[in-house]
Structure 1
Amino acid sequence: MRMASFEAFACDACKGLFARPQHSCRRCGAITILPVNLSGRGTLTSFTTIRVPPTVFLGQEPYDIAVIDLEEGLRVTARLTVPAGRAAEIGDPAVFEEVLPYGPVFRLI
């Protein structure tokens, strides 16, 4: 399965990275924020399993929400796909799969 690159946003002045578009850099105040493609590879830093979801996600439970530290230094909160027969553990490698209407999805490898 081919890994997708993760689109993020970088400040042209200080090179700070952001998961979502910004009007100005939260670090240095510069107004030039450019889209960048990141590798999509990262490490599982934290996760939780949602068993009682908000109404909008009823029927999708249980599902995992994770914090992924990308190789480039950006920390992303995302949906996590765990392969069948495997348990997620902090430090596991993960890769970006896709962006859905509710946000990014990463998969353990």
Structure 2
Amino acid sequence: MGAHISIPMYQRAVKQRYRLVGLKCSNCGQIIFPPKAGCKSCGALDNFTEVQLSGRGKIYSYTVIAGAGAPPEFSEEAAYRGAYPVVLVELEEGPRIIAQLTEPVPAEIKIGMPVEMVLRQIYTEEDVIRYGYKFKVLEGEK
């Protein structure tokens, strides 16, 4: 059993979860992802426009999660794969986001490796498959 996310809450996050849609602050130009109620740069509470993020970036940091350290919703994956990498990606537009790295995982993950967002299965809850973004290392960069 994984972390419960209600259907309405899940549906509200579809734009960010499937298409990497963020917000751009019209006051200072800061790109906000995932979307928040206010701009952390200038404090504006409204005046945002939606912006489509490219899904491209570089590995800023990473860790490898082993079975015992996996959150409950990823226990099935941890049992199947053993350990799996989770990366902090700095997107071309500036925001940093955390996601799993897809297979095939390079033998050696390096800070600065270029990556690209892909849509993949994240986990299953109550027989419902939850999809979202993961990142893959760009070809020729492994």
Question: Does the alignment reach a TM-score above 0.5?
Answer: yes
Question: Percent of aligned positions with the same letter in both sequences?
Answer: 32
Superposition TM-score, scaled by structure 1 size: 0.80
| Dislocated runs of 4+, deviation >6 Å | none
- Between structures 1 and 2, the one with greater helix share: 2
Equivalent residue in structure 2 for 1:38, among 28, 38, 53:
53
Q: Equivalent residue of 1:81, what SS? A: coil
Alignment match, 1:105: 134
The two structures, once aligned, show a CA RMSD in angstroms of 2.3
- 5+ long unaligned stretches in structure 2: 1-17, 123-129
Distance in 2 of aligned mates of 1:55 and 1:74: 27
Q: Which of the two has higher C-alpha Rg? A: 2
- 5+ long unaligned stretches in structure 1: none
Q: Equivalent residue of 2:77, what SS? A: coil
- Between structures 1 and 2, the one with greater strand share: 1
1:56 equivalent in alignment to 2:73 = yes
1:28 equivalent in alignment to 2:57 = no
Inter-CA distance 102–32: structure 2 relative to 1 (3 Å threshold)? farther
Distance in 2 of aligned mates of 1:107 and 1:64: 11
Aligned residues: 106
